[in-house]
Amino acid sequence: MLYAIGTKVRLRFTGERGTITGILEEGMLMVRLESDPDFEIPTFEEDLQRDEANEPVSAGAKFIMGKSAPKPEAPPARRIQSQYKILKPKGIQLAFEPMPARDGTVSRYKVWMLNDTQEEFLMEFDLFTHTRDILVVDDKLAANTALELGDFLSDDLNDGPEAFLRVRRITTAGPDDPLEHTLKIKPKQFFNSLLTAPILNVLAYQYVLLDSFEHKSRQEEQDLRDYAKQQPRKRAAQTSNSRPYKAFDPEGLASFEPEIDLHIENLINGFARLDKGEILRIQLQHAQRFLEKAVRLGAPRVFLIHGVGEGKLKDAIAAMLKEHPGVAKFKNEYHHKYGYGATEVWL
């Protein structure tokens, strides 16, 4: 079915009304929603219905198969670089700058990543709640720089927000091994962390995510192993007063649900505005975070519920599991509870 620019349509699965504003490649159309005129979304042609009751198409309507409409570019992120060397750097920090309204109330915060060191990093950052991704940023974090990431709403504090950061330090030999940190943001702690942010020189709620970037060399690791082999008597002589290493969190494991339903409607709201590629990316992100939590708690086995469908999500999960260091084995066989719609994973 051909659509003309300006044709009134409805989204087949949500019933939202909109107007065709552009014709893209690979059977996709750009639609401006009536409920949010400033928002346009790419939509597959088969997911649309002509809204003839709203605007009947005349016999002489001209259908235009124009070139792909250019996607609007997001404004470039601000980068503020310090003009002086910070003598006592704290490391890589996450800062939330309050953005007061005219009446003085604060319902929005500008999110910054601060690097007050002399090192440069490749950065992957994800700020999310259990219902949606708030910010996803892949960028370079220069030395002595504040990088603007986007906006954070006060209402998101009630949804258990978490921040995930992975960085690779840039060295003369190339990018270093990755370092990671996950931060759970709690409202009480959030409002107790107001300080003057370095580089920005404004009051902001701050968290130090990484303050050390050194990796043990292979020689250092080998020296430690050799030393340990030479100390069997000392290890055997440890008294009962020694504190054992706590590998897992028993309380967390007791309340942990060993399954996750990856159907997009169970993960975020407003999924009808997303294309299939974006939906798959969000599903894999949730699966990855769920696996990392399961490994951290010491769960022996989990289920990833993906449904049957076309099998794209199942195949993408299988590819991810093959590369995951915490996965011992997995299978997708018939299960009395899930049928063929879930993958069983041993950790």
Q: What pLDDT digit, counting tens, does each position of 114-152 carry? A: 999 999 999 999 999 887 889 999 999 999 999 999 999
pLDDT at 66: 45
3-state secondary structure (DSSP) of residue 97: strand
Q: In the 8-state DSSP scheme, what is residue 217?
A: -
**Complete domains list, the chain, with CATH:** 1-70 (2.30.30.140), 79-210 (2.60.40.1600), 253-346 (3.30.1370.110)
CB atoms near residue 131 (< 10 Å): 14
pLDDT at 253: 77
pLDDT at 246: 42
pTM of the model: 0.46
Task: Tell how far CA 33 is from the center of its chain.
Answer: 26
The answer to whether 50 and 37 have CB atoms below 8 angstroms apart is: no
Whose CA is closest to 313, among 266, 280, 265? 280
The answer to whether 121 and 166 have CB atoms below 8 angstroms apart is: no
pLDDT at 65: 46
CB atoms near residue 332 (< 10 Å): 19
pLDDT at 274: 83
pLDDT at 179: 92
- Report residues of the chain scoring pLDDT below 50: 1, 57-69, 71-72, 217, 232-247
Ranges of beta strands (E only) in the chain are 8-11, 17-23, 28-33, 40-44, 48-50, 79-81, 92-100, 106-115, 121-128, 133-141, 145-153, 162-171, 174-175, 179-184, 194-196, 203-210, 259-261, 301-305, 329-331, 342-346
Whose CA is closest to 313, among 264, 254, 265? 264
Residues 261, 37: Cα–Cα separation, whole Å: 32
Residue-wise burial string across 199-229, b where 16 or more C-beta atoms lie within 10 A, e elsewhere: bbeeebbbbebbeeeeeeeeeeeeeeeeeee
- CA angle at residue 270 from 266 to 275, to 5 degrees? 95
Lookup: tokens for 82: 């310090």
